[in-house]
Structure 1
Amino acid sequence: MTEPHAKTLEPSAWVRRFAGMIAPAGHVLDYACGTGRHARWLARVGFDVEAVDRDPEALARLAGEPRVSTRVADLEYGPWPFAEARFDAIVVTNYLFRPRLDAMLACLRPGGVLIYETFMLGHERYGRPSNPAFLLRSGELLQRLVAEFTIIAFEQGVVHSPRDAVIQRVCAVKANAAVLDLPVLGAA
């Protein structure tokens, strides 16, 4: 899949904008990290990062990067690599595989931050990905997260930088289980 930031090593402005919400020195998962532009930046600003991708050559670019550990894993069809892992934040950009979305979200600790930015329907007019299986539907992230997350920010639409794309992005904090068990006010 061609990503909008393919020609730059700069982290997404969306990731930079919300990284300050992550617990200081927190443990961050850079999910489907590719060559690791976010893992590298997050480590440099003080986080311990686990970078996971299926491409060992891409992960090799992170070799020797302080505060970054790498894991080669097929996040779509391989065994789930994070059964017991919990993270203070998960960063996902330019990637969508719905069948593993729930498993990925389960790896986030209560109070943890999700920073997600990827393509949505309409992007096919600009290039790849064009398969609807890899494009979010309008409002899909918001609808998926609203029951167990506090939505900090949500955007969707056309962007022109770093290239033309149709994207959807969210920053959300996973609710504490105790908060989820509160009764609904005004219920009979």
Structure 2
Amino acid sequence: MHQQQEPSSLLTEYVNELALACRNCGEPPLPVLDLACGYGRNGLYLVKNGLPVVFADINDDALAHIAKSVSALTGQGQALASCWHQDFEQPGSTPLKDKQFSAVTVFRYLHRPLMPQIKQAIAPGGMVIYETFTRAQAEFGRPKNPDFLLEPGELPACFAGWHIRHHFEGVVEAGSTEQAIARLVAVKPFE
């Protein structure tokens, strides 16, 4: 049995702006993509707050757990959530092509070839909320592979030209350990 964790503090801080982005990006509102969602701690928080969410992950067990969690919510939760089994790391694949979301949330995941697709998939006026490890994380523990660690300033550089609402890079307390992370909240401009 998987123990449900609290949602990211970054997500709880920006949930109202995320809700506004959902309302502003289409009628009916476009969903939020919880990319590489794992067991859905962040997306389930959004569903509980009335936002439509697409949970995307390669792990079938995690998606089944999410489906059960959504079923346990009120009937509204089922209407707001869907699961998408997807391997985002298939060479040469473009899983986000021709898809549109009011926001994309990414926590503790980095696959650089997806960055242009993430940017394209967010509707103008929509948001990205991204939090993952930086190169300095190798000093504290896993991951250590540089493919999964951001370089200094890489995240805001990737979203240059967007309206940066929040950016942080540094070391944070995570339970009894420390983690080196970068956080970004940005709004896609209307072009």
Checking the alignment, whether the CA contact within 8 Å between 1:119 and 1:134 is kept in structure 2 is yes
Q: Residue 146 of structure 2 aligns with which residue? A: 132
Checking the alignment, whether the CA contact within 8 Å between 2:172 and 2:178 is kept in structure 1 is yes
For this pair of structures, how many residues does the alignment match?
Answer: 171
Alignment of 1:160-171 (within 5 A): 160-162=173-175, 163-171=177-185
Q: Residue 88 of structure 1 aligns with which residue? A: 102
Q: Does 2:33 match 1:20?
A: no
Q: Does 2:73 match 1:59?
A: no
C-alpha distance in 2 between matches for 1:31 and 1:121? 21
Deviates more, 1:160-169 or 1:72-81: 72-81
Alignment of 1:38-187 (within 5 A): 38-64=42-68, 65=70, 66=77, 67-77=80-90, 79-147=93-161, 149-162=162-175, 163-177=177-191
- Residue type matched to 1:93 in 2? F
Q: Give the unaligned 5+ runs of structure 2.
A: 24-28, 71-76
Deviation at 1:7, TM superposition (A): 6.7
C-alpha distance in 2 between matches for 1:54 and 1:105? 21
Deviation at 1:39, TM superposition (A): 1.1
Cα gap change, 1:7 to 1:136, in 2 (>3 Å): farther
**What are the Cα deviations for residues 6-35 of structure 1, in whole angstroms up to 9, with x where unaligned?**
975110001111121122465100000001
Checking the alignment, whether the CA contact within 8 Å between 1:26 and 1:47 is kept in structure 2 is no
Q: Residue 74 of structure 2 aligns with which residue? A: none
Deviation at 1:82, TM superposition (A): 2.7
Q: Give the unaligned 5+ runs of structure 1.
A: 1-5, 178-188
C-alpha distance in 2 between matches for 1:82 and 1:70? 15
- Residue type matched to 2:149 in 1? L
Cα gap change, 1:145 to 1:91, in 2 (>3 Å): same
Which secondary structure does the structure 1 equivalent of 2:55 belong to?
Answer: strand
* Structure 1 consecutive aligned stretches of length 4 or more whose deviation exceeds 3 Å: none
TM-score, length of structure 2 as denominator length: 0.84
C-alpha distance in 2 between matches for 1:122 and 1:144? 19
- Identity over aligned residues, as a percent? 34
Deviates more, 1:59-68 or 1:11-20: 59-68
C-alpha distance in 2 between matches for 1:80 and 1:43? 26
TM-score, length of structure 1 as denominator length: 0.86
